[in-house]
Each structure stands twice: as structure tokens, then as C-alpha cells.
Chains A and B, each alone.
Chain A
Amino acid sequence: MSIVSELAVILLNGLQQGAIYVLLAVGLSIILGTLKFVNFAHGALYLVGTYAGLFIALDVTLSSGKLQEWGYGEFGLGWGFLAALILVPLFVFAVGLLMERFLARSFYDRPDTDQILVTFGLAIVVQELFRVLFGSNSLPFTQPEYILSVIPVSGPMQLPIVGSFPRWRLWVIAITAVLVGIVYLLVEHTDFGLVVRAGTRDAEMVRLLGIKISRPYLVVFGIGAALAGVAGVVGGPLNVVNPTVGMNILVPAFLTVVIGGVGTITGAVVGGLIIGLTQATLIGLPSVTIASFTLNFSPWSQVGLYAIAAIILLVRPQGIFGNEEVAP
């Protein structure tokens, strides 16, 4: 493999890794930007998305957990991956609406710390609920082979410069790009988006103009949740599936938001790409031997992500695309 193709592989891997973070970060960022609500339970929505996707797409046999003890060890609809990709966002959207209506809304007027604590508590409850029901073992989420039994989505694919590359990863990038594009258009170029953005600036003024702001807020929360659900479905086959995935992905997702700047979709995309590329680069770089000392980069991949974040925040505390107005 030539240097160019190796770099291209790293780039694509970075894009794919970043894509999952982008899906989560866009949701987090618009909720934080417009509703001023900190959602530590966003990872829990990812968790719900992953398990719901698994349940809809495949047949699963549980080896532990209460469901297995109660005799429901084999579950799943087995409707295929496309069904999961369509139904899960709808389901998590509904979960998001419930969460906004019954949890978030009563905390808009309370201090930030209370918001963080209550969503953190909710995240623990969801995680433990899944652990009790489905057991703490990792479940297999096999990659889908075909969508609509015609379009192949798994296996390697020959690309011009890159050479062979896992097809599913390209699909993750494509799905993310399309969804984020839709959300961007929705927020920036529709009347709905106008109301939302106006609410971000001055919610009271919007209310005085006779617009019921609570409904757009509800929808924004739902959209953010649905994106997290999609991230769970497309990311499920790439990562392990167990009750802790939600909390584990929350930290990089938040970091993405902080790097990119709160409330901007562009920021979330750029932040996600930076984090994804950093990680992929450190994993992909060959080890360097200086004298008798070998430096291997891949153990540093997780650390590098935080180091990059630290550097960016030292230079621009409000994030790359953030403006001081939004940031407190």
C-alpha cells in the first residue's frame, strides 16, 4: 500500500468514527443551544437506540439478565436493518418527547447543576434497567448484509485510491451526512427553524409575538433524541453492545460539542471530524523506532482525543464555531 492510500484509509476511518460522534453531538448541541438544557442522559438515548435497533433488526438470544430468567431469553422481531433504521428514530423521538415533557421541562428554571444531576440520575437508571433486563454481557450485533435484499451493505468494497474498505463504514458516513444535512436545512431554512433560532435569542419576545415556543422546544428535543437513536443503530454493529455503551460514548460526544461550540450544527460536525480523525490517525500511524526506543501511537488514541480538546479550549474557550453570546 502506498502512503496515499494509507492516508486515505485513515481519513475514511476518521470520518466514520467522527460520524457517530457528530450524530450525537448535533442533538446535544441544539438541545443545549436552544433549550439551555444539559442532557447527561443523551448517552442513554444512544443505548435505547442500540437495543431497539437490535430488537427490530435481528433475533437475539440472551445468555443472562432477568428477561432470560423469566423465559423471554429469545427476543427480536428480525425485520431487517432498514426497518430498524426507520422505526428506531421514530421510537427514540417519542422517548425524547416524553423526556422533554415530563423531565426536562420542570428543570428549565432550575440551576445547571440540578439539570446535570437529574439527567445523570436518569442515565444511571436507564443503564441499570437495561443491565437488569438484558444482562451485562455484550450482545452480538451482526452487520447487515443487504438492505431491501438488493443493496449490499457489508463486506469490503473497492475504491479508487483507497483500495478495499469496509462497505458498512461508508454507509455510516453517508447516512450521517444525509441526516445532518436535513437537520441543518430544518434549523436554518424553514419557518420552524426560524422560531427555534428566535427562541434561542429571546424566548420571551417570541412568546410576546404570540408564538407558542414550548412546542418547537418539544420538537427540538425529539429531533436531538432521534439522532442519538440513529447513532445507536448505525454504531451498534461497529461497537460492542452492552449497558455501559451509553455512558462511554457520552464523554466524547460532549467533548465534540465543547470543541465545536455550542448551538451550531457546523461546529458539531467539525468537532466530530476533528475527534474522529485524531483517533483514527493515532490508531493508524505505524510505530516509530528512535534508537532502541519504540514509540507506538495506538495506545495514545484515547488520550490524544482529550489532548486535542485541551489545546483547542486553551486557544478558543468558546469552541471553534461558538460565539460568546451563547456561552455563559
Chain B
Amino acid sequence: MSDRNTTGESSTKSDGGTVIADNTLVARWEEIREREATVVGVTAICVAIFPWLFSRAPVISDVLLGYQSLATLILIWGIFAVGFDLLLGYTGLLSFGHAAFWGGAAYAAGIVANTVSADPIVMVVAGTAFAVLLAWVLGFLSLRRGGIYFSILTLAFAQMLYYMSAAPLAFLTGGENGLTGISVTPLFGVFHLESDLPSVAGTLIGNWMYLFVGVIAVLSVAAAYRILNSPYGMVFRAIRENEQRAEFVGLNVWRYKLMAFIISGAFAGIAGSLFTIHGSYVPLQSLYWTESGEIVIMTVLGGTASLFGPILGAGLYLYVENIVSGVQQLTIPFTDIVLINDFGTYWHLLLGLVFLVVIWVAPRGIWGAVSDLRALVRRLAGGDRR
């Protein structure tokens, strides 16, 4: 086995004999790549080593300038993005109102924490339940019209929630100041979320907060994978490809669309509740349409209709927003040539331009480029496979 491995690694620059060995390796990987256990396992490993790579690894983290709390935030938005892509990428519905579920769940979790119980699990369950109910109602209203009207209506209803929590419901939500005074109790009454994990786990994963979010993130990816590869998820794709045909086959398209919307809202709800736990604070901003816009940008930049593209997009967006934007002078690496002065002012403008270009020429996003590259490598490596 180890023999095959070494030949496989050197195969790209050696003769045809080893290419065949490589082929079997590639073939084996292709065979297990799509399995649920592989997807979930790889996700779990990536989630587990990510904070170490990002904020504590010797050289990499010095270059990346990452920190633990941002790693947690990236995972939270990643869950949100996976759910959003379920709707946009797989069902073909562009919602501009997902801030309603994100922010609504964040408020619900916060209010439950302040009044009933501040147990993290209770908060997540309450927030998600609220998001699901909300998605049911808003989906029922918005899905009365298809296409662009759906986008406009979701945007409108989310804005309605924003204005409701801004003034009329200020006694519940804290109005302009946001919801404050949330103090999350330890997980299972024992583990303080802010405290570090013991020994090796502490170095690798960091604190209990990340572990909590990470476990939920892996479960979310597993759930999304299971949904997408079930017959039920196939119907979502059928609706995206040709709604009329799906209707003619006898499927109740409206019901499937509503369900896709609710599932997507549930993911947003999980993420929103985790956001409250992570920050111990809910800003009014979390219901504003800019949050909906952000999740749209993340998902599209990362690549729609893929499971990991949106997570990548979320990570990249937050990384640029929180770290790169703090760099005042952007230079070409390892030289002194200054690309942009005062980068912090321009980053949002540049992001907008990048987004515009991606939509225009490469609607499949970063993940699309990655899969093209993979296809290219496979063709080069196994061109004479028969």
C-alpha cells in the first residue's frame, strides 16, 4: 500500500508505467470521494485542524494573521452559506431576505437566553425553531410569485422585520441599541464556552465555543449532504432545471419549493443562534438587508450548487473584511511595490467589483474554478485511461 502511494506521488513526472498505478489511486479516490462517510470525515478533519492552522500554526498563522474567534465566526457563516446555497444553488430560488431568519433566530436565541434559559443548546433549539416558523410564514407569502418577484418579496418582508424590531418591538429587541445583557451559561452546566480545551485538543481546536460550533457545523454539512443526495433533494434540482417539467411529472412543485425555503431558513436559524452565543449580543444590523446581501455575495463568490464553495466564500469574505481590510498598504508579496494605499477604505468597493466580474464571466465562482482545475489535472494525469 505504501509502495503504491509513493509511486502515485511521483507519477506526474515519470513514465507511463506509473501513471497506471496513479490511475487506480485516482479511481479509488473518485470511488470513495462521493461517499457520505468520506465527505463528513474530511469535513470533520478540516474543521478540527482549521483553528490551529489559522491562528496557531508556526509559519502559516503569522502570514494569515488569523485568530480563534474569527475561525468560529467563519464556521457560523459557513453554516448559513450552506443553507443558503441549498435554496439558491440547488433549487434555483434567489432569496434576498435571509437576514430575517439569521437575525430573527439571533433575537429569538437572545430573548430566550435573557428570559428562560441561557443554555447554549436551548438557545440553538429556540432560535432554529423560530427561524423555521418564520420561514414557513414568509415562504408561504413570498412563493406566491416566482422568479424575480420572489426575490423582491423576500427582501420586502425581511425589511419589515427590521423596522419592526427597530421601533415598535423595541421593548423586546432593544431597538437601535440591539439586544444586550446575554450571558451564556456553560454547556451541559460544566464546560465554559470561553475556556480552552484540555491538552492537545486545546492547541488544535482551541476553546469549547469552537468545538460546539464545529460539531454543529459538521452535522449541518452531513445533513445538507444527506438531503441533497436523497430523492427529495433530487426534486429540488429538477425544479431548478425545469419547473414546468417537474410539475408535469406530477410533483407538487410549490410544496417542494416551500420545503426548500424552510430547510434553508433552518440552517440560517442555526447559524443565527450560534452568532448570538458567539457574540453575546445581537445588533439591530443583523436583520438589515445588507446581511442578506452579504450571504448572497459569499455564496456566489464561493460557488453556487456546491456544498463547500459557499463555506469557502464565507471564509474568504470574512477574512477580507476582518483582516485584509485592516492592512493599510497592500503590496505585492515579497516586494516593496505598493498596489493600493489606504486599502481599508477601498476594500468594499473592490469586493463589489470582484463580485461583478464573477457574475459576469464566471458565474460558478471559486469552487467552479477549483473543479475545472481538478478536471484538468485528472485529464492530464489519466489521459490514456481505458
Is there contact, CB below 8 Å, between A317 and B359? no
Within 8 A of A (CB), among B270-312: 289, 293, 296, 300
Q: Among the listed B141, B163, B349, which residue makes an inter-chain contact with A303, where contact means beta carbons less than 8 Å apart?
A: B163
Q: Tell whether A120 pairs with B296 under 8 Å between CB atoms, given A112-B147, A125-B349.
A: yes
Is there contact, CB below 8 Å, between A121 and B355? yes
Question: Which one of A79-87, A198-206, A305-313 contacts B?
Answer: A305-313
Is there contact, CB below 8 Å, between A313 and B145? yes
A37 to B, closest residue via Cβ: B148
Output the least CB separation between B302 and chain A (Å).
Answer: 13
Q: Tell whether A306 pairs with B352 under 8 Å between CB atoms, given A299-B167, A328-B147.
A: no
Is there contact, CB below 8 Å, between A306 and B359? no
Within 8 A of A (CB), among B128-177: 141, 144-149, 151-153, 155-157, 159-160, 163-164, 166-168, 170
Question: Which one of A3-11, A143-151, A250-258 contacts B?
Answer: A250-258
A66 to B, closest residue via Cβ: B345
| B29 within 8 A of partner (CB) | no
Q: What 1/0 flags go to A103-125 for Cβ under 8 Å of B?
A: 00010000111111110111011
Is there contact, CB below 8 Å, between B353 and A113? no
A129 to B, closest residue via Cβ: B349
Q: What 1/0 flags go to A70-107 for Cβ under 8 Å of B?
A: 00000000000000000000000000000000000010
Is there contact, CB below 8 Å, between A255 and B152? yes
Across-interface contacts of A186 in B (CB, < 8 A): none
Q: Among the listed B92, B159, B345, B356, which residue makes an inter-chain contact with A306, where contact means beta carbons less than 8 Å apart?
A: B159
Q: Tell whether A255 pairs with B168 under 8 Å between CB atoms, given A125-B349, A125-B352.
A: no
Q: What 1/0 flags go to B86-125 for Cβ under 8 Å of A?
A: 0010001010100000000000000000000000000000
Across-interface contacts of B166 in A (CB, < 8 A): 302
| A128 within 8 A of partner (CB) | yes
Within 8 A of A (CB), among B351-383: 351-353, 355-356, 359-360, 363
Across-interface contacts of B352 in A (CB, < 8 A): 121, 124-125, 128
Across-interface contacts of A192 in B (CB, < 8 A): none
Is there contact, CB below 8 Å, between A247 and B289? yes
| B346 within 8 A of partner (CB) | yes
* Contact count band on B: 35 or more
Q: Among the listed B145, B151, B345, B356, which residue makes an inter-chain contact with A116, where contact means beta carbons less than 8 Å apart?
A: B151
B160 to A, closest residue via Cβ: A306
Across-interface contacts of B353 in A (CB, < 8 A): 125
Across-interface contacts of A120 in B (CB, < 8 A): 293, 296
How many contacts A-B (CB < 8 Å)? 106
Instruction: Give the distance in Å from the alpha carbon of A264 to the alpha carbon of B386 in the complex.
Output: 61
Across-interface contacts of B151 in A (CB, < 8 A): 38, 113, 116
| B226 within 8 A of partner (CB) | no
Is there contact, CB below 8 Å, between A327 and B145? yes
Is there contact, CB below 8 Å, between A251 and B359? no
| B348 within 8 A of partner (CB) | yes
Interface residues of chain A: helix, strand, loop or mixed (majority): helix
Within 8 A of B (CB), among A203-260: 247, 251, 254-255, 257-258
Q: Among the listed B96, B144, B355, which residue makes an inter-chain contact with A314, where contact means beta carbons less than 8 Å apart?
A: B144
Is there contact, CB below 8 Å, between B157 and A124? no
Is there contact, CB below 8 Å, between A258 and B153? yes
Instruction: Give the distance in Å from the alpha carbon of A129 to the alpha carbon of B289 in the complex.
Output: 20
Is there contact, CB below 8 Å, between A306 and B157? yes
Across-interface contacts of B359 in A (CB, < 8 A): 114, 117-118, 121
A124 to B, closest residue via Cβ: B352
Instruction: Give the distance in Å from the alpha carbon of A116 to the alpha carbon of B296 in the complex.
Output: 11
Is there contact, CB below 8 Å, between B346 and A132? yes
Instruction: Give the distance in Å from the alpha carbon of A117 to the alpha carbon of B149 in the complex.
Output: 14
Across-interface contacts of A171 in B (CB, < 8 A): none
A residues neighboring B (CB under 8 Å): 32, 38, 66, 106, 111-118, 120-122, 124-125, 128-129, 131-132, 247, 251, 254-255, 257-258, 299-300, 302-303, 306-307, 309-310, 313-314, 317, 327-328
B residues neighboring A (CB under 8 Å): 88, 92, 94, 96, 141, 144-149, 151-153, 155-157, 159-160, 163-164, 166-168, 170, 289, 293, 296, 300, 345-346, 348-349, 351-353, 355-356, 359-360, 363
A-B contact pairs, 17 of them (CB 8 A): A38-B148, A111-B92, A112-B94, A114-B363, A116-B96, A120-B296, A121-B355, A122-B356, A124-B355, A125-B356, A247-B289, A254-B152, A306-B156, A309-B156, A317-B145, A327-B145, A328-B146
